[in-house]
Amino acid sequence: MTKHYVTDVIGTAIGSVERVSTVWSRLDILQTIRVRWSIGRMNYLVTPGVYAVGKPDADSNIFISANFKLSFDHLRRALHGINAWILVLDTKGINVWCAAGKGTFGTKELVHRISEHHISQLVNHKKLILPQLGAVGVSAFEVKDQTGFKVIYGPVEARDIKPFVGTGMEATPAMRKINFTMIDRLKLIPVELSYGRYYLLLIPAIFFILSGLNIHGYSVDAAWQIGGISVLYLLVAYLSGCVITPMLLPWIPFRRFSVKGLIIGWILGGVVLYLTGSLLTIFEIISWLLMMGSLSSFLAMNFTGSSTFTSLSGVQKEMKLSLPLQIIATGIGIIGWIITRFI
Amino acid sequence: MIELKYLKNVVTLQLDQQKCNACRMCVLVCPHEVFEIKDKKAHIIRKDLCMECGACEKNCSEGAISVKSGVGCAAGIINGLLRGTEPTCDCSSSGSVCC
């Protein structure tokens, strides 16, 4: 990847260090949009190591980041107008929070980078500023024991860095709290939409093929007609689970994501069946409600992974009941629908 | 904004107040304001909001906090079930898209 974000190279006590821009170029914005759509997401990297922002010296603060370029970009943009160092850890291109969960943004890697890049020679203080969510993988007291550096946990969001530095390096309760606003959720929807990947073509194709089956053998006309409407129903269920449920999350009753998804799947499914299903038999309608409800419910349940407030114990409890029901309902729905092809 | 809450009474978070030295680290690292320091001891004040990320346990120098931490992610749990491992959203090896 070209380092278009590097403006020049400066000489320091530890040798040459690349200075980075604090303004996003058009390319950065374009890349951000692409990566939000999961394009090249797993290979969007920054080389680990030390970078300079502004005109840093031996007294400047050191901010720690992950080598997922989106994380790095948010940090350098937040440091606009500040003279600072950035130390990028090797998190295999994963963001701070997820990498901390896996341990790659962790004590061991941080300790390694501190000695590898001679950080104690770069600055004459003993402070490192980490994003708060890095605390999932980094143990501040172990870093202190092993390197002498004091870890200060900054705000959750990079955009709060300026007020954080301004108020003497104490994150306010509001800066420490992780939110999950409508905008946060909207940003995640492209990733959710791309979740299905090739199944998005495979499953509709299967429904098209099966739609032609009937008591007289095979009808291409039926395949197009029934197949087309089937794909519409599947799409509605997919959007219910991947887009509408995440968007409306706080306003949909019940705490379980699977139930939230089921409700939306049935509401939208009910509407679309009402509008298009005048020729459907009651068995077909029931079959479709079972399939659409479970698909939407399953996809909504997967949004737990993107949310910022679900616990492992909670998701395990939810899935114990929901996953078998989703599988059974889908199974009955598909069998029911195939049988109705022959009635 | 409406506060988003997940299931009640499932969280594995535990605090041994005997060991607590009121260093405030748990308060500083928790993204959901689960802890509070009162009378020179940490208290769990909003347990149901805990998402079991494990930051408090990891940063408690006295070992006063324990929590079974992991990914609160359905896809990760399914991944774990299929591979017979702990829940994992291991994107790097499977090449799939997550977090």
Domains identified in chain B and CATH numbers = 14-94 (3.30.70.20)
| Number of domains present in the structure of chain A | 2
Judgement on whether residues A22 and A144 belong to the same structural domain of the protein: yes
Is residue A261 situated within a structural domain? yes
Q: Which residues of A308-340 are buried (b: 16+ CB within 10 A; e: fewer)?
A: bbbbbbbbbbbbeebbeebeebbeebbebbeeb
Instruction: Kindly give the pairing relationship between strand A84-88 and strand A61-65.
Output: parallel
Mean pLDDT across A18-28: 93
Is residue A168 situated within a structural domain? yes
| B97·A313 Cβ contact <8 A | no
Q: Sheet harboring A84-88: ordered strands across?
A: A6-12, A15-20, A49-53, A84-88, A61-65, A127-130, A150-153
| B52·A313 Cβ contact <8 A | yes
| B72·A153 Cβ contact <8 A | no
At residue B36, what is the residue type? E
Judgement on whether residues A10 and A138 belong to the same structural domain of the protein: yes
Segment 7-46 of chain B within 8 Å of chain A by CB: 7-8, 10-12, 25, 28-33
Query: Looking at residue A43, what DSSP letter applies?
Result: G
Q: Do residues B35 and B17 make contact, with C-beta atoms less than 8 angstroms apart?
A: no
Mean of the per-residue pLDDT values of chain A: 92
Judgement on whether residues A146 and A187 belong to the same structural domain of the protein: no
Name the domain boundary from A176, A205, A227: A176
Span of A94-103, A113-122, A280-289 with lowest mean pLDDT = A94-103
| A140·B12 Cβ contact <8 A | no
Name the domain boundary from A143, A176, A209: A176
Is residue A207 situated within a structural domain? yes
Residues of B with Cβ-Cβ distance to A310 under 8 angstroms: 6, 51, 72-73
Segment 129-188 of chain A within 8 Å of chain B by CB: 132-133, 135-141, 153, 156, 171, 173, 176-181
Closest CA to B74 of A318, A68, A201, A159: A318
Q: Answer whether A318 touches B (CB < 8 Å).
A: yes
Judgement on whether residues A90 and A163 belong to the same structural domain of the protein: yes
Is residue A87 situated within a structural domain? yes
In B, minimum Cα distance to A315 occurs at B72
pLDDT at B83: 83
At residue B10, what is the residue type? V
Partners of A53 in the β-ladder: A84
Is residue A22 situated within a structural domain? yes
At residue B96 the predicted structure's pLDDT band, cuts being 50, 70 and 90, is very low
B39-75 pLDDT per residue, tens = 999 999 999 999 999 999 999 999 999 999 988 888 8
A163-193 pLDDT per residue, tens = 999 888 889 999 999 889 888 898 888 888 8
At residue B95 the predicted structure's pLDDT band, cuts being 50, 70 and 90, is very low
Q: Rounded to the nearest 10 degrees, how much is the dihedral formed by the CA atoms of A52, A54, A76, A182? A: 160
- Minimal Cα–Cα distance from B82 to chain A, Å? 14
Partners of A19 in the β-ladder: A8, A52
Judgement on whether residues A263 and A312 belong to the same structural domain of the protein: yes
Is residue A135 situated within a structural domain? yes
Q: Do residues A212 and A222 make contact, with C-beta atoms less than 8 angstroms apart?
A: yes
Residues of B with Cβ-Cβ distance to A189 under 8 angstroms: none
Judgement on whether residues A112 and A246 belong to the same structural domain of the protein: no
A114-137 pLDDT per residue, tens = 999 999 999 999 999 999 999 999
Q: Which residue has the higher pLDDT, B55 or B93?
A: B55
Is residue A305 situated within a structural domain? yes
Judgement on whether residues A101 and A236 belong to the same structural domain of the protein: no
Alpha-carbon torsion A154, A156, A157, A160, what sign? negative
pLDDT at A279: 84
Q: Is B76 helix (H, G, I), strand (E, B) or coil?
A: helix
d(CA A77, CA A120): 25
Q: Which two tokens stand for residue A307?
A: 């949310």
Segment 50-79 of chain A within 8 Å of chain B by CB: none
Judgement on whether residues A321 and A196 belong to the same structural domain of the protein: yes
Name the domain boundary from A147, A176, A205: A176
Judgement on whether residues A225 and A82 belong to the same structural domain of the protein: no
Given a cut of 90, is residue A208 above it in pLDDT? no
- Minimal Cα–Cα distance from A115 to chain B, Å? 22
At residue A195 the predicted structure's pLDDT band, cuts being 50, 70 and 90, is confident
| A38·B97 Cβ contact <8 A | yes
Q: Which two tokens stand for residue A277?
A: 């299903």
B4-30 pLDDT per residue, tens = 889 999 999 999 999 999 999 999 999
Geometric angle at alpha carbon A172, from B71 and A93, rounded to 5°: 40
Q: What range defines the domain where residue A302 resides?
A: 182-340
What ipTM was estimated for this complex?
0.86
Q: Answer whether B92 touches A (CB < 8 Å).
A: yes
Judgement on whether residues A136 and A198 belong to the same structural domain of the protein: no
Judgement on whether residues A10 and A133 belong to the same structural domain of the protein: yes
A308-340 pLDDT per residue, tens = 999 999 999 999 999 999 999 999 999 999 998
Judgement on whether residues A260 and A327 belong to the same structural domain of the protein: yes
Is residue A1 situated within a structural domain? no
